[in-house]
């Protein structure tokens, strides 16, 4: 049948709201017939499996397991939402400790059971850090691990669309870079609105500076707003976008929203963060980000914030000092 690949896709954390949506999304997109759902919480996992069976999909070999070895063995693509959920009032950073530990285990499982995996998408927060830890412990190449960051850019697109009462399609190349946390760098200079550069609109009657600042705040707090409105953490958009990332890595339509990627160049060292990226069958690749001096400064601040979080995790003993990373993963 019409699948992108026959390789095994592992959805880790499949019992949760995001994971179960990823399962449905992956099946609807017909990525591969061979999908395995993994979650340590067996009853809800079985419930998700049942729901997928009740959809009546055709052509699938869908399995579920709470056994780590069975889940990871032979996986060629993995998407993991398997962290603790963000609760109302929590920042993404509050989740740091618990999820850093989960990421370490996740990376080690990849190394142990499926070192030949092609591509891994990590989406549990703070994703920049959990993705970095996963990369470190998995031993994979930087091109093989990506984190979800697109959500910030799509939120910028959405806010501009609502502000100007135009189709989101008329907002082109909306971009945020750096951390996928409250210290993200919201760019304006990359974006056009109805063909007009956003930077030419900001500060005019169409979008006074103050309105733009408020709009940026809504972008940054987009996740918190969903919690306020729905009484639950955002789950449909992160799962949909992360499955689009996996689809691109499988050879589907390239994914061109910013994604979190490992960056280690003259400017940003040993960090995972959102850059201008493309995900395709060869993995994730990034280009340098260019913005106005103010935007560049904001990106630097976002980078420094991530460096602080990285230090926190190193101080917690979850990651070794950077100097020792190459021992764990020579690809870094």
Residues that bind a copy of itself (CB under 8 A): 20-21, 24-25, 28-29, 43-44, 46-48, 50-61, 150-151, 153-155, 157-158, 161-162, 167-169, 222, 225-226, 228-231, 234-237, 240-241, 257
State in angstroms the smallest separation of the CB of 204 from a copy of itself: 24
Enter the DSSP assignment of 188: S
Enter the DSSP assignment of 73: T
> For the chain, how many residues are written?
332
Considering all CA atoms of the chain, what is the largest pairwise distance in Å, rounded to the nearest integer? 60
Of 186 and 313, nearer to a copy of itself (C-beta) is 186
Of 44 and 307, nearer to a copy of itself (C-beta) is 44
Report helix angle 42-54 to 17-28, nearest 10. 30
Of 144 and 239, nearer to a copy of itself (C-beta) is 239
Q: Are strands 119-122 and 77-80 parallel, antiparallel or unpaired?
A: parallel
State in angstroms the smallest separation of the CB of 210 from a copy of itself: 22
State in angstroms the smallest separation of the CB of 148 from a copy of itself: 11
CB within 8 Å of 231: residues ≥ 6 apart: 88
Of 162 and 311, nearer to a copy of itself (C-beta) is 162
CA dist 93 and 132 (Å) reads: 15
State in angstroms the smallest separation of the CB of 328 from a copy of itself: 35
State in angstroms the smallest separation of the CB of 201 from a copy of itself: 20
Of 128 and 159, nearer to a copy of itself (C-beta) is 159
Report helix angle 127-138 to 96-113, nearest 10. 30
CB 38 within 8 A of CB 64: yes
């Amino acid at each position: 049948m019409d699948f992108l690949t026959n390789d095994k896709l592992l959805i880790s954390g499949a019992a949760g709201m995001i994971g179960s949506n990823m399962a449905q999304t992956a099946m609807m997109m017909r990525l591969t017939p061979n999908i395995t759902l993994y979650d340590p919480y067996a009853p809800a996992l079985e419930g998700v499996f049942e729901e997928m069976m009740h959809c009546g999909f055709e052509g699938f070999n869908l399995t579920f397991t709470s056994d780590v070895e069975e889940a990871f063995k032979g996986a060629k693509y993995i998407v993991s939402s398997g962290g603790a959920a963000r609760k109302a009032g929590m920042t993404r950073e509050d989740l740091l400790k618990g999820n850093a530990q989960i990421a370490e285990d996740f990376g080690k499982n990849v190394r142990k059971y499926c070192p030949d995996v092609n591509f891994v998408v990590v989406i549990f927060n703070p994703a920049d850090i959990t993705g970095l830890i996963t990369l470190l412990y998995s031993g994979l190449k930087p091109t093989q691990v990506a984190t979800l960051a697109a959500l910030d850019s799509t939120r910028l697109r959405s806010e501009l669309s609502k502000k100007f009462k135009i189709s989101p399609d008329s907002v082109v190349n909306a971009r945020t870079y750096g951390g996928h946390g409250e210290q993200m760098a919201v760019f304006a200079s990359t974006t056009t609105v109805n063909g007009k550069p956003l930077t030419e609109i900001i500060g005019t009657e169409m979008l006074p500076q103050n309105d733009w600042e408020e709009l940026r705040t809504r972008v940054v707090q987009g996740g918190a707003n969903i919690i306020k409105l729905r009484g639950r953490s955002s789950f449909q958009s992160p799962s949909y976008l992360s499955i689009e990332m996996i689809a691109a890595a499988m050879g589907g339509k390239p994914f061109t929203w910013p994604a979190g990627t490992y960056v280690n160049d003259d400017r940003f060292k040993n960090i995972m963060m959102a850059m201008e990226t493309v995900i395709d069958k060869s993995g994730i690749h990034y280009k340098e980000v260019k913005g106005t001096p103010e935007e560049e400064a904001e990106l630097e601040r976002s980078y420094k914030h991530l460096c602080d979080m990285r230090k926190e995790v190193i101080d917690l003993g979850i990651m070794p000092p950077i100097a020792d990373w190459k021992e764990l993963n020579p690809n870094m």
